[in-house]
């Protein structure tokens, strides 16, 4: 009975609050009214198309307003200002519609379909969370029998004891249709993903064995290296003819898509003096109301009265270490129910009320660590090294300095071992148990985990959570200010178009700074604006657009200053990359000549590490490498590591020309997994490879489908300020 009462008591707004999208009324106030004039039926007007399949403006706006209504109701329920960023929302709906139509079209090409029974079975036996909530009692227990009864005959809700009002039932029915559509698309995507993944037949054993050996094997080598980067640029001359020849020979590396470029000025929508004065008046009004209240509770009550009027917000319980750094000192200074303000922060003035403090449900800890990795062969010696480091720390050596020198955690380069604050679940159990079982200031370890041995210094704990309310007051741009900005933007354009002045000269006269966009490609926004991108793609060289409102910029006036066709990049743009590659090749020529000149002396040396180096640019030493192209301390060079795993043991190899260096090397030992070790891992390796390839294949395939689709985007005609 509790479940049925809950369903009966749900208002239409409550149903809308839990729906992702629900059917509502189309609000046209934010669209361009001119697009609705004339005799054309709005339901047949297109906002775009995908491979010739229309996206109707009616359909598009309906989805936008459904989502907007849902967002507004959620904001009201959460005590937030019910603002909707329509440009961003319209972009999300557009992407959703394009993706949906591409998915259906490509599914038809692949012969993939979803039956009504498949959708019904999924909905019947695996209801989404929003429906589970509707059919759960006050204790949160899902009534599966009632749910399935209603799903078999939804109209039973309108009869007998249930007696749901017709309007409420209609809204529920529409919502269920939306859920069915979402499930149908989910099933369709799963089937397409499977079909595309099935095209991937896995990897040959030779490839899997190579990858396994590359990850698990290692080689101990001694080397003599002359890196190309060590040779001064002054020793190399690269001519434009050589660069052009390289570009011609490697044209595939310097391809560009068709694109446009704009020069633009931005006239920001900044508050005027009167706008700022209005905000100050609101701030003063609230400040006086709080000041005139006598007791702390009275001040809290005054704050609460203005919370809704000024669209303030309420926070959830937040650990003190996760509270915004600008708010934290003010909130920490307050007693429960105490109010403070105005507090001046970069984005406006604030009033805060601390609603509650409590012990954290999930305490956080702060710690630093030193990680020492080990293998089964050297585990004992690494443990002794860890214990030795702990003794040095106890004797007063700086933890951060030792972490920087010895820790094998890659993040040590930036954090010097300091891991900041974290919840218990974020770390592996061994690490978390050690930290949360210690006290502030304790040195703990060595702690063994899957990553190695940890030496841990516990810095502190955050065991308190805060809940608060806040009111932000900042100047809002008035309609009068917007009108003046728009008038100035139109004047800018008129002086270019009607008076024949240049873009730069008008910008200089009006005190504006012209800038250029990057390359703008088809079906991509310009400065986040599809209206601006539409102008760029459809205009001619030298065209100047009408003022376009762009979020974050204000009013934009732009001129098309470059039109590029598909093909090889212009020489000036490709020059820098090509020049660097030609220079590396020439430096490698020099490096090879120098190593060849000392080849006999190198061959006579008992080892490469004992060779007496007379050239300051040559490096010698010994190291351990994997067959992955990474040469520790020397950089990336796949030729070096490939030779290390191919050369005979103890045989001098070189000089060889690598990708970034010329080198001699001698392999002293090599540990490569044998066929038996690979055979034991083959099935799991093949499964992991196939799953990864299937995911990547689907993503790459769908990206290719979208990039090659004929997508017509007419949104700029209907929403000119986006």
Count of beta carbons in the 10 Å neighbourhood of residue 418: 17
Positions in the chain whose pLDDT score sits under 70 = 1-43, 75-82, 138-140, 158, 160-163, 197-207, 209-210, 689-696, 720-722
Q: Which DSSP string corresponds to 569-605?
A: PPHHHHHHHHHHHHHHHHHHHHHHHHHHHTHHHHHHS
Percent of the chain with pLDDT over 90: 41
In the chain, where the domains are located: 2-197, 218-251+572-671, 259-270+477-565, 272-476
**Which helix (DSSP H) or strand (DSSP E) does residue 655 occupy?**
strand 652-657
Calculate the alpha carbon distances from 559 to 35, 502, 547, 550, 563 in Å: 25, 10, 11, 15, 11
Q: Which DSSP string corresponds to 300-319?
A: HHHHHHHHHHTT-EEPPPEE
Does CATH place domain 2-197 in 3.50.50.60? no
Q: What is the pLDDT of residues 405-463, one digit of tens each?
A: 899 988 888 889 999 999 888 888 999 999 999 999 999 989 999 889 999 999 999 99
**Residue indicated by tokens 């294949």:** 697
Give residue 160's pLDDT. 63
Provide the CATH number for the domain formed by 259-270+477-565 in this structure. Answer: 3.10.50.40
Calculate the alpha carbon distances from 533 to 39, 267, 524, 705 in Å: 29, 18, 7, 21
Given a contact cutoff of 8 angstroms between Cβ atoms, the answer to whether 60 and 94 are in contact is: yes
Same fold, 259-270+477-565 and 272-476: yes
Given a contact cutoff of 8 angstroms between Cβ atoms, the answer to whether 557 and 265 are in contact is: yes
Alpha helix positions (H), 217-272:
240-249
Return d(Cα 533, Cα 527) in angstroms, integer: 8
**CB contact set of 508 (below 8 Å; sequence gap of 6+):** none
SS3 state of residue 448: strand
What strand order describes the sheet that includes 711-713? 53-56, 46-50, 711-713
Given a contact cutoff of 8 angstroms between Cβ atoms, the answer to whether 43 and 103 are in contact is: no
- Assign residue 348 a region: left if phi > 0, alpha if psi is -120 to 50, beta otherwise? left
Return d(Cα 124, Cα 559) in angstroms, integer: 56
- Topology of domain 272-476, CATH: Chitinase A; domain 3 (3.10.50)
First to last CA, the chain: 50
pTM equals 0.49
Return d(Cα 136, Cα 132) in angstroms, integer: 6
Return d(Cα 600, Cα 616) in angstroms, integer: 19
R_g of the chain, CA atoms, integer Å: 34
SS3 state of residue 395: coil
């Amino acid at each position: 009975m509790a479940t049925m009462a809950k369903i009966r008591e749900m208002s239409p707004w409550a149903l809308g609050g839990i729906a992702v999208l629900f059917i509502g009324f189309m609000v046209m106030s934010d669209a361009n009214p001119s697009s609705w004039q004339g005799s054309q039926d709005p339901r047949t007007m297109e906002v775009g198309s995908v491979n010739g399949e229309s996206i109707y403006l009616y359909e598009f706006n309906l989805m936008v307003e459904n989502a907007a209504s849902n967002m507004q109701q959620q904001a009201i329920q959460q005590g937030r200002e019910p603002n909707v960023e329509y440009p961003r929302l319209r972009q999300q709906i557009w992407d959703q519609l394009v993706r949906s139509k591409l998915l259906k079209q490509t599914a038809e090409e692949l012969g993939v379909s979803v039956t009504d029974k498949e959708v019904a079975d999924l909905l019947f036996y695996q209801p989404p969370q929003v429906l589970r909530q509707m059919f759960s009692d006050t204790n949160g227990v899902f009534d599966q029998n009632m749910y399935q009864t209603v799903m078999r005959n939804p109209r039973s809700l309108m009869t007998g004891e249930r007696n749901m009002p017709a309007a409420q039932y209609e809204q529920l029915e529409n919502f269920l249709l939306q859920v069915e559509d979402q499930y149908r698309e989910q099933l369709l995507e799963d089937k397409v993903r499977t079909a595309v993944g099935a095209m991937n037949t896995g990897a040959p054993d030779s490839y899997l064995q190579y990858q396994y050996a590359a990850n698990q094997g290692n080689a101990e080598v001694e080397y003599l290296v002359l890196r190309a980067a060590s040779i001064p640029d002054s020793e190399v001359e690269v001519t434009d003819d050589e660069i052009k020849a390289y570009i011609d020979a490697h044209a595939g590396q310097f391809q560009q898509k068709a694109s446009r470029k704009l020069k633009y000025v931005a006239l920001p929508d900044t508050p005027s003096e009167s706008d700022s004065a209005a905000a100050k008046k609101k701030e003063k009004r609230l400040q006086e109301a709080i000041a005139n209240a006598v007791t702390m509770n009275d001040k809290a009550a005054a704050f609460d009265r203005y919370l809704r009027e000024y669209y303030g917000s309420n926070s959830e319980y937040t650990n003190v270490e996760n509270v915004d750094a600008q708010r934290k000192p003010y909130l920490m200074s307050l007693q429960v129910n105490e109010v403070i303000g105005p507090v001046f922060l970069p984005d406006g003035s604030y009033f805060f009320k601390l609603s509650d403090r409590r012990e954290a449900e999930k305490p956080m800890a702060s710690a630093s660590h030193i990680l020492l990795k080990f293998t089964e062969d050297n585990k004992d010696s690494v443990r002794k090294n860890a214990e030795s480091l702990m003794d040095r720390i106890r004797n007063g050596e700086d933890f951060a300095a030792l972490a920087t020198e010895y820790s094998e955690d890659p993040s040590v380069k930036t954090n010097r071992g300091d891991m900041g604050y974290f919840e218990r679940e974020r770390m592996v159990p061994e690490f978390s148990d050690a930290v949360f079982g210690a006290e502030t200031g304790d040195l703990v370890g060595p702690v063994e985990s899957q990553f190695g041995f940890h030496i841990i210094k516990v810095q502190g704990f955050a065991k308190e959570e805060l809940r608060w309310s806040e009111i932000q007051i900042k100047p809002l741009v008035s309609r009068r200010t917007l009108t003046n900005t728009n008038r100035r933007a139109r004047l800018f354009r008129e002086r270019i178009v009607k008076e024949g002045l240049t873009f730069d000269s008008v910008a200089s006269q009006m005190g504006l700074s012209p800038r250029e966009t990057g390359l703008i490609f088809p079906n991509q926004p310009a400065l986040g604006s599809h209206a601006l991108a539409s102008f760029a793609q459809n205009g001619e060289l030298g065209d100047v657009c009408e003022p376009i409102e762009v979020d974050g910029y204000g009013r934009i006036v732009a001129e098309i200053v470059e039109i590029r066709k598909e093909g090889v990049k212009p020489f000036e743009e490709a020059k820098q990359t090509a020049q660097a590659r030609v220079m590396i090749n020439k430096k490698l020529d020099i490096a090879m000549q120098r190593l060849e000149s000392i080849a006999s002396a190198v061959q006579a040396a008992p080892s490469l590490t004992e060779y007496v180096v007379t050239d300051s640019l040559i490096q010698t030493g010994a190291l351990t490498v994997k067959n992955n192209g990474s040469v520790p301390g020397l950089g990336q060079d796949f030729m070096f590591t490939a030779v290390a795993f191919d050369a005979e043991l103890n045989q001098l190899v070189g000089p060889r020309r690598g990708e970034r260096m010329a080198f001699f090397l001698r392999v002293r030992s090599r540990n490569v997994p044998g066929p038996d070790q690979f055979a034991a891992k083959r099935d799991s390796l093949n499964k992991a490879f196939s799953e990864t390839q299937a995911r990547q294949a689907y993503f790459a395939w769908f990206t290719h489908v979208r990039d090659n689709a004929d997508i017509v985007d007419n949104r700029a005609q209907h929403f000119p300020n986006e």
